[in-house]
């Protein structure tokens, strides 16, 4: 008997090679007996992004994740977006319904769930390094979850200030921009420090230039990088006694939400955790 045609899902971004998301989704599809598949697609330019997005409907895709650097650039290419995308100004996944591309954003929801498995966000003073498409979603969602204050540290003032303004406009929580110049001195009173850049990703494993003597050992330290699970940034934080949250945990939390949105099946977290651990060779 010829099996039914696979339902296609995937990711658009650049680079995508080191991301374990395809191994995770394919394992979970198989666990639930779904004839679905997940493809990572390395898209070299914004022009190619437009071509790829236009092809999703005729190719029969059911859903698509969007990763760096296209979470903002993809928005004009969509038919509509949900309220989260309107508030945040970026989309990290699409559903495809009746030939229409619908943008959603759960980057921040994933990070909030991952952090709150370790510690509550309410009242925290957050410092975020970087403020791209994922960072802006995380900043807004952390504010919605009760963070008391956010500092966005970026090299480009226009980007950082725009995200700070978005946070305050969407949540009412005060947010400010700080210039990233050389080694970052973390402001006094910071209780959560997040790396939202690509520094530390395999295979380069670049260090994040932070003055660790300015980081309180009680400060929760978070990294969005998914490969490796424990980046140089988190390894240093852990060696100084800081509680840490890794990017793999965030990926699992947001992937479960996307899986359920695409398939209508309630996922089992243990299956996601096991699949991503195997993908990373753990």
Active-site residue numbers? 71
Can you give the length of the chain in residues?
282
- Give me the DSSP letters along 39-66: EEEE--SHHHHHHHHHHHHHHTEEEEEE
Backbone angles phi, psi at 263, to 5 degrees: -100, -20
Alpha helices in the chain (DSSP H): 21-31, 46-59, 83-88, 107-116, 133-144, 157-171, 232-239, 247-263, 269-279
Sequence-distant (≥ 6) Cβ neighbours of residue 141 within 8 angstroms: 107, 108, 109, 111, 112
User: How many angstroms separate the CA atoms of 59 and 57, rounded?
Assistant: 5
């Amino acid at each position: 008997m010829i099996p039914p045609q696979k339902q296609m899902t995937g990711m658009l971004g650049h680079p995508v090679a080191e991301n374990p998301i395809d191994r995770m989704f394919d394992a979970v599809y198989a666990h639930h007996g779904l004839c679905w598949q997940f493809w990572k697609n390395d898209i070299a330019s914004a022009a190619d992004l437009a071509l790829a997005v236009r092809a999703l409907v005729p190719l029969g895709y059911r859903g698509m994740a969007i990763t760096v650097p296209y979470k903002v650039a993809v928005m004009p290419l969509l038919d509509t977006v949900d309220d989260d995308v309107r508030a945040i100004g970026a989309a990290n996944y699409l559903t495809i319904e009746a030939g229409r591309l619908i943008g959603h954003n759960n980057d921040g929801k994933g990070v909030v769930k991952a952090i709150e498995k370790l510690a509550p966000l309410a009242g925290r003073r957050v410092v975020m390094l970087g403020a791209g498409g994922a960072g802006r979603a995380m900043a807004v969602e952390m504010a919605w979850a009760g963070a008391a204050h956010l500092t966005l540290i970026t090299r480009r003032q226009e980007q950082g200030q725009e995200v700070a303004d978005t946070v305050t406009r969407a949540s009412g929580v005060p947010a400010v921009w700080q210039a990233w110049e050389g080694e970052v001195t973390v402001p006094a009173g910071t209780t959560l420090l997040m790396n939202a850049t690509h520094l530390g990703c395999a295979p380069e494993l670049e260090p994040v230039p932070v003055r660790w003597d300015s980081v309180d050992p009680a400060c929760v330290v978070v990294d969005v990088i998914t490969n490796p699970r424990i980046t140089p940034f988190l390894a240093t934080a852990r060696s100084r006694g800081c509680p840490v949250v890794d990017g793999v945990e965030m990926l699992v939390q947001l992937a479960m939400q996307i899986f359920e949105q695409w398939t209508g099946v309630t996922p089992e977290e243990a299956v996601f955790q096991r699949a991503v651990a195997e993908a990373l060779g753990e």
